[in-house]
């Protein structure tokens, strides 16, 4: 039976998390698990570097003639068309000679969003996403980054894994400044709807020898792109709280809320004063799952809490267990 601790709606503040969930404290000799102190400032994301590196999905890559462009079909059901004369170098000039390389990371499922720590949210608004794509192009030998000419556009086509939707729009990822390097998690990342808010075209036909359907993105922007839509706002929403054993704090743990019936993931916000993670605007009655990821020293921990129907102003406890990266990836793939 799912254990739900109800909190009076009239007291829906972050202090609602001060419950007796964490009275049991396990001591581990000479281990970072003994640190139960939460930080009131932003957590050091460098501590999650090994976890982030281990979870990052495969990046596709291909080289092409910088001046002539190319249409590249990857082994997975996603392709990119790069028009002739569309690349611009860092001096603002069209790159018409030499070899270039395109790299593409395709996030297609809820577990992929979590692996790359890219929630489907735009500010406080929840998005439903059919896929998120990271794409960059650069000089094959020097590594100099390219942009796309304002008068040109690349075309990305990818498969829809579920039901085709006719009302998705293009969103662009807003990253931290400077951009988070290496395997550092970008906590400032959010999604902004592009100025052109028209619905994305859909397609149906053969790709990689199979009949399928999906979406078309045409843009002169690179890096993070998403095919998404705002979810319908419910008149009856609530704050949702998550607590963990004392050994798991905002210095070593991240928590996500995953919707069961749509492609939506929310990164929950830690609150040091109440020692909990929380989020808002969750529809009452929604079926969700809470997922925790932790890196403590050289060890990794994973936890899940399934909620068949979100109750108003409730807190739910997650019990993480020690896992290997491979076991965490399997769990995320099954969300």
Query: Half-sphere exposure (CA, 13 Å, Cβ side) for 134?
Result: 18
Q: Which CATH architecture has domain 5-53+235-333?
A: Sandwich (2.60)
Q: Where are the domains of the chain?
A: 5-53+235-333, 57-230
- Peptide bond connecting 178 to the previous residue in cis, omega within 30 degrees of 0: yes
Q: Is 51 in a helix, a strand, or coil?
A: helix
CA 169 – CA 216 distance, rounded (Å): 10
| Phi/psi of residue 17, nearest 5 degrees | -85, -5
Rounded to two decimals, the pTM is 0.88
Task: Render each residue's pLDDT in the chain as its tens digit; 335 residues.
Answer: 333 333 333 343 344 454 434 445 555 555 666 778 998 887 778 888 899 999 988 899 999 999 999 999 998 899 999 999 999 999 999 998 999 999 999 999 999 999 999 999 999 999 999 999 999 999 999 999 999 999 999 999 999 989 999 999 999 999 986 666 666 788 889 999 999 999 999 999 888 788 899 999 999 999 999 999 999 888 899 999 999 999 999 999 999 999 999 999 999 999 999 999 999 999 999 999 999 999 999 999 999 999 999 999 999 999 999 999 999 999 999 99
CA 242 – CA 268 distance, rounded (Å): 9
Residue 110's closest CA among 130, 134, 133, 135? Answer: 130
Q: Which letter does DSSP use for residue 58 in this model?
A: P
In the CATH hierarchy, which fold is given to the domain comprising 57-230?
Answer: Chondroitinase Ac; Chain A, domain 3 (2.60.220)
Q: Which letter does DSSP use for residue 145 in this model?
A: B
| Phi/psi of residue 46, nearest 5 degrees | -60, -25
- Cβ pair 191, 127 in contact under 8 A: yes
């Amino acid at each position: 039976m799912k254990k739900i601790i109800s909190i009076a709606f009239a007291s829906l503040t972050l202090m609602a998390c001060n419950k007796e969930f964490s009275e049991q404290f396990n001591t581990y000799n000479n281990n970072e698990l003994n640190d139960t102190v939460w930080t009131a400032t932003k957590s050091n994301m460098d501590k999650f570097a090994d976890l982030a590196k281990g979870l990052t999905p495969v990046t596709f890559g291909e080289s092409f003639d910088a001046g002539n462009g190319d249409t590249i079909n990857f082994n997975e059901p996603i392709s990119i068309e790069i028009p002739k004369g569309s690349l611009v170098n860092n001096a603002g000039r069209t790159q018409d000679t030499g070899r270039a390389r395109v790299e593409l990371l395709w996030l297609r499922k809820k577990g992929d969003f979590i692996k790359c720590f890219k929630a489907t949210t735009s500010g406080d608004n929840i998005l439903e996403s059919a896929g998120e794509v990271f794409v960059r192009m650069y000089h094959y030998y020097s590594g100099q980054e390219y942009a796309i000419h304002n008068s040109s556009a690349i075309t990305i086509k990818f498969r829809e894994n579920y039901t085709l939707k006719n009302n998705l729009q293009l969103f662009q990822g807003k990253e931290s400044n400077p951009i988070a390097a290496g395997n550092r998690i970008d906590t400032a990342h959010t999604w902004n709807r592009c100025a052109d808010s028209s619905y994305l075209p859909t397609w149906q036909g053969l790709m990689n020898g199979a009949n399928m359907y999906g979406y078309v993105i045409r843009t002169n922007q690179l890096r993070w792109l998403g095919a998404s839509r705002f979810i319908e706002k419910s008149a009856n929403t609530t704050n949702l709280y998550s607590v963990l054993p004392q050994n798991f704090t905002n210095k070593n743990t991240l928590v996500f809320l995953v919707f069961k019936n749509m492609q939506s993931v929310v990164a929950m916000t830690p609150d040091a004063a109440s020692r909990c993670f929380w989020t808002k605007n969750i529809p009452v009655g929604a079926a969700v799952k809470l997922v925790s990821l932790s890196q403590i020293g050289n060890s990794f921990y994973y936890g899940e809490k399934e909620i068949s129907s979100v109750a108003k102003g409730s807190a739910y406890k997650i019990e993480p267990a020690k896992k290997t990266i491979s076991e965490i990836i399997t769990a995320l793939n099954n969300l």
